[in-house]
Amino acid sequence: MTIPTEDHKPEPFYWDADTDHCPHKPIPERGTDAWDQWMTLGHQPYDDGVLCLDAPAGTGCPACTAELGDMIAWSACRNRDHARARQLPGEPQHQPVAADVASLECLERECDEYFTDEGDEIPGKDTCSHVRRMEICEACSEPGAAEDFPAVVAWTDCAKRTAARPVS
């Protein structure tokens, strides 16, 4: 159910037409006129079958998905910076906030620094030198996401930044 490419970037994902998510059932016999007709209903061939463009599966990261086999949501892309989830007092705004960010590997205590040279986990260690302070955009960073470590968007990359702060 993916369109394979190698880049870490947000991309809309769709379910395979073979799944219950495709509303265009039944699927006709391949190579018939009915099949051609059915394909025009928003179906797109890919390596493993046919995608249904009426069955969105969310925004995924094609590179992570290709690497891990299962669909990886863009918010869980391992190539992005992530922060520890925190509760916000109100609606997230497009404004800069400071956050401690790192790769998922570091936040999940899986990078080298959490282990001794012998490969034993170091007890009680809860941060590593890869964690850094960064100005992130509160609203773009989806801080309300249920995931443990929401992906963050740097304040400098906020798309609404100029709109929020008009230059007079």
Judged by the rule CB under 5 A, the positions of this chain that interact with Zn ion are 8, 17, 22, 24, 52, 61, 63-64, 77, 79, 94, 106, 111, 128, 130, 137, 139-140, 158, 160
Residue 167, token pair as written in the block: 């230059």
CB of 116 to Zn ion, least distance (A): 15
Q: Strand order in 132-137's β-sheet? A: 82-83, 96-102, 132-137
Alpha carbon distance 57, 76 (integer Å) = 14
CB of 66 to Zn ion, least distance (A): 9
CB of 131 to Zn ion, least distance (A): 7
Q: Which of 88, 92, 91, 103 shows the shortest CA–CA distance to 134?
A: 103
Nearer to Zn ion, 21 or 85 (CB): 21
62 φ/ψ angles, rounded to the nearest 5 degrees = -60, -35
CB of 76 to Zn ion, least distance (A): 8
Nearer to Zn ion, 86 or 160 (CB): 160
Other CB atoms within 10 Å distance of the CB of residue 16 = 17
Nearer to Zn ion, 130 or 142 (CB): 130
Q: Which of 144, 130, 129 shows the shortest CA–CA distance to 75?
A: 144
Nearer to Zn ion, 146 or 163 (CB): 163
